[in-house]
Amino acid sequence: MMSDSRVSSVIQEWASSYSGQAHTLNHNTPSSQLAQMDMVPYSQSQGLVRGGSDDMMGLSYLPYSTSCLNNSSAGSTNHHQSHANTQQDFSSFLLPSLRTPVNKRSISKDSAEYRLRRERNNVAVRKSRDKARRRIMLTQQRAMQLQEENQKLLMRIGQLTQELDSLKHILSQRHIQGSDDGAAGTSSI
Amino acid sequence: MMSDSRVSSVIQEWASSYSGQAHTLNHNTPSSQLAQMDMVPYSQSQGLVRGGSDDMMGLSYLPYSTSCLNNSSAGSTNHHQSHANTQQDFSSFLLPSLRTPVNKRSISKDSAEYRLRRERNNVAVRKSRDKARRRIMLTQQRAMQLQEENQKLLMRIGQLTQELDSLKHILSQRHIQGSDDGAAGTSSI
DNA sequence: AAGAATTGCGCAATAC
DNA sequence: GGTATTGCGCAATTCT
């Protein structure tokens, strides 16, 4: 039904998408069974380093105001400073450490250097997300092809088993013919 | 090495993550081989409806100002209206149709109804992304388990083939013993 | 130390 | 009307 060359080609492309830059395996990989060629890029490193407060179950999309200090404190919320948000800015007195917005040389919005960095990061973000999209699609295709291959292998196993049974049966017959010299070997008694 | 119950359980979970809401198959699915249980949720519907100008190759992360009317026209760029971006706002005279920002009852930022809608959408976004994360991880696990299963099946095929060869050899020996009555049956000429 | 990559989040457009 | 999906920009963090 399908040429094997295309299958192996896509699988190779999938593999290369994971070991491509050789910097995906030493990320975190805290999972025990995802250590060989998968990288778990999503919610694992985040869950341990960053937010990670209520992301362990299906509770991460709660209104987010119920979890803990959410808006504009530790997270990267309200970066539209002139948006007249209904929530105030607690970043000036919550968590005295890890503070950056007020100091840090007053990052000087609308400076050329800031815009340059922003634009560079935007390009990097697009690139990274494109890569992630490609990787996801390759993984999906790989899973489908592996399933097809599994089906074929199972059918092959069925064939071989049947053939083996036939030969075993024939051999047992011959064994009866060959060893029993005309006597009543198996049926009587 | 691994109990089969866990494998099938994760595979079932994976399958349910795709057919969960039964609204994933009629998205677009323009690919021919991804029609059975995959959904291709990423870059396909977007590529046809939205930007989709240079996303067909590895060119989608170019500075994005080189493609075509990009900033603040058709895409959803600069929504920080008071950010002093270096790019101007062409949305008032480009593409006269599909226009919304200037009219549409002047959406009235900082209104309670706007904030309500925004917060609801934020919840939906978090939920959707969480779902996507789960689906991606399940697909990865599924691929790995399918590969393990493939290895086992291949080994089983090797066993069966070897066994079959043995039996065939034995049978050929017996055939020579049984049918050839001392004559030169097969080897000469 | 500095740039690139990754990632959570919010916004807006759009799909459903 | 509402939720769901998704590209994009921002900021924080991590990686190189």
pLDDT over 60 (residue A13): no
Strand C contact residues in chain A (62-101), C-beta within 7 Å:
64, 70-71, 75-78, 80, 83, 85
Give the residue on A whose Cα is nearest the Cα of B124. Answer: A61
CB of B2 closer than 8 Å to CB of B9: no
Strand D at less than 7 A from CB of B43: yes
Strand C at less than 7 A from CB of A42: yes
pLDDT confidence tier of residue A12, bands split at 50, 70 and 90? low
Polymer length in residues for chain B: 189
Q: What is the DSSP letter of B157?
A: H
Q: Which has the higher per-residue pLDDT, A31 or A170?
A: A170
Distance, in Å, from the CA atom of B7 to the CA atom of B150, rounded to the nearest integer, reads 13
Q: Which has the higher per-residue pLDDT, A102 or A173?
A: A173
Which residues of chain B have a CB within 8 Å of the CB of A168?
A: 167
Residue B143 neighbours by CB under 8 Å, 6+ apart: A38, A139, A142, A143, A146
Mean pLDDT score of chain B, rounded to an integer? 59
Using one digit for the tens of pLDDT, what is the confidence trace for B131-174? 999 999 999 999 999 999 999 999 999 999 999 999 999 888 87
pLDDT confidence tier of residue A163, bands split at 50, 70 and 90? very high
Is A162 at the interface with chain B, CB within 8 A? no
Residue A33 neighbours by CB under 8 Å, 6+ apart: B141, B144
Task: Kindly report the nearest CA distance between residue A188 and chain B, in angstroms.
Answer: 25
Top mean pLDDT of A96-110, B46-60, B108-122, B169-183 is at B108-122
Distance, in Å, from the CA atom of B94 to the CA atom of B74, rounded to the nearest integer, reads 9
Give the residue on B whose Cα is nearest the Cα of A140. Answer: B139
pLDDT over 70 (residue A16): no
Q: How many CB pairs under 8 A join A and B?
A: 150
- Kindly report the CA angle at A114 between A110 and A120, in degrees rounded to 5? 130
Task: Kindly report the nearest CA distance between residue B140 and chain A, in angstroms.
Answer: 7
Top mean pLDDT of A52-66, A161-175, B90-104, B144-158 is at B144-158
Q: What is the mean predicted confidence (pLDDT) over A146-160? A: 98
Protein residue closest via CA to C1' of D3 = B124
Q: Which has the higher per-residue pLDDT, A34 or A123?
A: A123
Using one digit for the tens of pLDDT, what is the confidence trace for B73-112? 333 333 333 333 333 333 333 334 333 334 455 668 889 9
CB of B29 closer than 8 Å to CB of B43: no
Protein-contacted positions of strand C (CB under 7 Å)? 3-16
Mean pLDDT score of chain A, rounded to an integer? 59
pLDDT confidence tier of residue B14, bands split at 50, 70 and 90? low
Using one digit for the tens of pLDDT, what is the confidence trace for A71-119? 333 333 333 333 333 333 333 333 343 333 344 456 688 889 999 999 9
pLDDT over 70 (residue B5): no
CB of A29 closer than 8 Å to CB of A35: yes
Residue B135: predicted pLDDT: 94
Q: What is the DSSP letter of B7?
A: H
Residue A14: predicted pLDDT: 58
SS3 A155: helix
Q: Name which of A185, A175, A162 is nearest B170 in CA terms.
A: A175
Q: What is the mean predicted confidence (pLDDT) over B112-129? A: 95
Strand C contact residues in chain B (141-180), C-beta within 7 Å:
none
Q: Do B110 and A170 touch (CB under 8 A)?
A: no
Which residues of chain A have a CB within 8 Å of the CB of B60?
A: 126-127, 130
Q: What is the mean predicted confidence (pLDDT) over A50-73? A: 42
